[in-house]
Structure 1
C-alpha cells in the first residue's frame, strides 16, 4: 500500500500523519520502517490506518526519530517541561515552557551507479556516484557507522527474496570487513568472478565460504575464500511496499 494512502481525516499534527510525511519525504515505505524497528511488515500501516497501537512504543519511537533526525515529540513523545530559571535583568524561562527540538544533522551517503545482483548476477561497473541518500547523522552514529565507509546501492533480481526485493536500496558498510576481527556471518555485497552480488555468507570448512541465496528457488554454493571478494556488510534496507 503506498505511503500516501494515509486517511484524509488525520490532523497534520497527529504523529501518524507526521510519520507518513517523513516516510514520503525520505522515499521509504512503512513496511521497510516496520522491519527496521523489528516489527512485522504491516505494523506501521496498522498504526497509521487503524490507530493500532494507539501510540508508538518508546523504543520504536526513539529508533524512528533517530532515523529521520527529528525530535521524538514529532512522533508522539510528550514534551518535557523546562524548570523556570531567572536570568539577570529579569529574563528567564516560564515554568512549563517546552524544550526546543534539536536541529537535525544530516549526512549524504553516495548512491553508486551499479547494482548488486540478487539474481543471476551483474557485471560490476566503476563505482561512480549516481546521486545521494540522506541519513540522520545521529542514527548512523548510534549504530556505530562511519559515513566515510558507507555506500547505497540498488538490489537487482529476486534470489534474496523475501529479505530483499528487486529495486530495494541497501546501505553497505565497507569498514565491516576491514576490522581486526574480519568479516562475520551475515548479508554482504561480494564480487565473485567479476560479478557483483548481494548474498548471505557463512563460514564453511577450512578456507571455504558458503554463498547463500535466501530464495529457495536459487541454489547456494560453496567457494574458496580467496575466490570471494567481500565488499561490505549490508546494514540497512529500504524499498517500496
Structure 2
C-alpha cells in the first residue's frame, strides 16, 4: 500500500509549536508566506519564534484569531476552524467557541472595579531599552499569553483622562540604557497595546524578531513607501530606518513611573 502524501492531522498532545507547524505545512504555507499574510512583513523570524522557541501551552488569542481565516479549509484533509482555535486553548464547538474566545481575551484585560478604580496587569516581559532581549518564552504581543506578575490599582477617572479606553493597557518594566535619560532601567511604563500604528511620533514597544524593545519612532517625511526612523535617545546607540511594513509594534507608551 502506498503511503499517503498528505500531512497527518496534528494530535492535541503535541506541543503547540509543533501543532502550529503541522497546520501551516498542511495548509501549504511557507514560514515566510504565512508571516507576510499575518501582517509581519519580511520579519518572518517574528513568526518563526512560535514554531521553534515558544514554550507556552497555547498561542495568544489575537494571533490565533488572525490565523483562522488563513488556515481554515486549506490542505488535505481541509483544516477545520476549530483545529486552529484549539491552538489558543479555546474549547471548540458551537457557542462555547465564541464564549471561550471572549473569556480568554477578557482574562488579561484591565478590570473596572466597583470602587472607581481600574486594575491594570503588569507582565514580566521587560522591554529592553537596548538592542533587544533574547526571550525564550515570550511572544510578539506585549502581555498576550503571559501570566500577570502584579496588579496596579489606579483611579479610573485619572486613567481615562489620558486614555479613552483602558481595556488594552498593560504595565511593563524597562531594562537597558539605550533610552536614558528619558527611560531608566527599572522604571515601569504604561503601554496602550491597542495603538499599533506608529502615528503620531512617539515612544513605542516593538518586537524586533529577538526581543521586546522600547524605541522612539518617527515617520520619515515624504518617504514612499513610508519609512520609520527607530531612534535611541542615548546617542551612543545607532539610529535605524525600516519600511513601515517591517515593523511589529506591540503598543505605544502612554505613561511611566519613576522614583525620585
> What is the TM-score when the length of structure 1 is the normalising length?
0.53
Instruction: Give the Cα–Cα distance (whole angstroms) in 2 for the partners of residues 229 and 184 of structure 1.
Output: 16
- 8 Å Cα contact 1:192-1:227 kept in structure 2: no
1:155 maps to 174
Greater share of residues in strand: 1
The one-character-per-residue Cα deviations of 1:143-199 (angstroms, maximum 9, x if unpaired) are 134221100000011100111000110000122236xxx632111111112321110
CA deviation after TM superposition for structure 1 residue 104, in Å: 6.0
Of 174, 184, 209, 1:165 maps to 184
Structure 1: give runs of 5+ residues left out of the alignment. 1-102
- 8 Å Cα contact 2:132-2:208 kept in structure 1: no
Secondary structure of 1:139's counterpart equals helix
Instruction: Give the Cα–Cα distance (whole angstroms) in 2 for the partners of residues 194 and 120 of structure 1.
Output: 9
Q: CA RMSD in A?
A: 1.9
The alignment status of 1:198 with 2:233, answered yes or no, reads no
Secondary structure of 2:158's counterpart equals helix
2:227 maps to 208
Of residues 185-194 and 158-167 in structure 1, the stretch that sits farther from structure 2 once superposed is 185-194
Instruction: Give the Cα–Cα distance (whole angstroms) in 2 for the partners of residues 130 and 120 of structure 1.
Output: 24
The number of residue pairs the alignment matches comes to 136
Instruction: Give the Cα–Cα distance (whole angstroms) in 1 for the partners of residues 190 and 200 of structure 2.
Output: 17
Map 1:83-232 → 2, pairs under 5 A: 105-124=116-135, 125-126=138-139, 127=143, 128=146, 129-177=148-196, 183-204=199-220, 205-206=223-224, 207-232=226-251
> What is the TM-score when the length of structure 2 is the normalising length?
0.49
CA deviation after TM superposition for structure 1 residue 221, in Å: 0.6
Structure 2: give runs of 5+ residues left out of the alignment. 1-113
Instruction: Give the Cα–Cα distance (whole angstroms) in 2 for the partners of residues 190 and 138 of structure 1.
Output: 28
- 8 Å Cα contact 1:185-1:200 kept in structure 2: yes
Instruction: Give the Cα–Cα distance (whole angstroms) in 2 for the partners of residues 213 and 145 of structure 1.
Output: 28
Instruction: Give the Cα–Cα distance (whole angstroms) in 1 for the partners of residues 161 and 174 of structure 2.
Output: 25
Secondary structure of 2:236's counterpart equals coil
Q: Larger C-alpha radius of gyration, 1 or 2?
A: 1
Instruction: Give the Cα–Cα distance (whole angstroms) in 2 for the partners of residues 147 and 163 of structure 1.
Output: 24
- 8 Å Cα contact 1:106-1:135 kept in structure 2: yes
1:84 maps to none
Instruction: Give the Cα–Cα distance (whole angstroms) in 1 for the partners of residues 167 and 210 of structure 2.
Output: 25
CA deviation after TM superposition for structure 1 residue 140, in Å: 1.2
